Amino acid sequence: MSVPTIAFFNNKSGVGKTSLVYHLAWMYAELGIRVLAADLDPQANLTAMFLDDDALAELWPEGEHPLTIAGGVSEIRRGIGDVKPPPLRPIDDAERLALVPGDLALSQFEDSLSEVWPKAADGDERAFRVLSAFWRIMQDSAAAHNAGLVLIDLGPNVGAINRAALISADFIVVPLSPDLFSLQGLRNLGPSLRMWRQQWAERKGKNPVSSLSLPPGTMKPIGYVVQQHSVRLDRPVQAYDKWVRRIPGAYAKYVLGQGGNEVEGESDGSRLAMLKNYRSLVPMAQEARKPMFDLKPADGAQGSHLSAAREVGKDFRRLAEAIVEKAGLELALPSPAPS
């Protein structure tokens, strides 16, 4: 039985996607879930958030990078072997959170993935091995970590790397900013997801090797997260409010293919969360190399900052729970502590 995979994807950049994956990975780990974070974005920003410069230098020396996702697909990319899951990087002291490290060199895999996509329609064995590379690495790594959940960070595009990563995802969460560009991005995102899901379903049945593990290609959108809005009296400021009101209809039409949706705000079942702009907590957390909700007075979080950090924890706990519920995952989360 495979480990559930959740991809966080938007073909628009600047929506806080990587920070969202980072904080959710920490939150699930703190809730007792063994979680694997897979950095499949060639920009490798998630890896840079988790690891310091010395660790990054170890991962990315001159020459080959056997300790990263790029190293894991290196031999299959060159046609001289199959996938080799890279060594996992433990992140937390309890070893509940582990990372499949990203790599700028992963971009070299784009051409191979693009080339074999049409060949899979003809039943080409290598095509299926290449297209299932991410899936097999993540599942093997999840098994090695005894993970209950895999969170996938992706780049902001609809290229071949993201197509292969998304067919490896059981569920998809869409991070959004309340602006025109995010709404425009949904017009490309939704049709691309539906097209790839259909095309992969058509290809899967032509796999010539019955023993080769292939991703199911479910790619089920379970909702969106609105991020980085300013608030005034717990409501979005007027400049963003009009875009927030338009998100439910755009998401329903372009991502779910359901036509118009007049539902707004918290009554929209597709909205998983609306996260505030946490402002000064962000650089403080970056300096401390920890999630915002784990900031302590020793990290500079005192007074209002400490209170804000606690509120961030509540926000991400609610989001973590909402994702589990919407995806229908059988993960045992502890009851919230009394306020």
Residue 332: CB atoms within 10 A of its CB come to 9
The residue extents of the domains of the chain are 5-277, 279-328
The one-letter code for the residue type at 298 is A
Q: What pLDDT is attached to residue 242?
A: 84
Measure the CA–CA gap between 82 and 78, rounded to whole angstroms: 9
Q: What pLDDT is attached to residue 26?
A: 98
The structure tokens listed for 183 are 């709404």
Question: How far is C-alpha 208 from the geometric centre of its chain's CA atoms?
Answer: 30
Question: How far is C-alpha 94 from the geometric centre of its chain's CA atoms?
Answer: 22
The CATH number for 5-277, chosen from 3.40.640.10, 1.25.40.10, 3.40.50.1820, 3.40.50.300, is 3.40.50.300
DSSP at 12? S
Q: What pLDDT is attached to residue 234?
A: 57
3-state secondary structure of 256: coil
Contact at 8 Å (CB) between 99 and 88?
yes
Q: What pLDDT is attached to residue 16?
A: 86
Q: What share of the chain is helix, strand, coil (3-state, %, to 5)?
A: 50, 15, 40
- Provide the total of helices (H) and of strands (E) in the chain, helices listed first: 13, 10
Q: What pLDDT is attached to residue 30?
A: 96
Say what the pTM is: 0.95
pLDDT in tens, the chain (339 residues): 899 999 999 987 777 899 999 999 999 999 999 999 999 999 999 999 999 999 999 999 999 999 999 999 999 999 999 999 999 999 999 999 999 999 999 999 999 999 999 999 999 999 999 999 999 999 999 999 999 999 999 999 999 999 999 999 999 999 998 888 888 889 889 999 999 999 999 999 999 999 999 999 999 999 999 986 655 545 556 667 888 889 999 999 999 998 655 555 556 899 999 998 887 898 899 999 999 999 999 998 888 889 999 999 999 999 999 999 999 999 988 887 665
Q: What pLDDT is attached to residue 262?
A: 53
Which residue shows structure tokens 């539906």? Answer: 194
Q: What pLDDT is attached to residue 264?
A: 56
Measure the CA–CA gap between 315 and 176, rounded to whole angstroms: 16
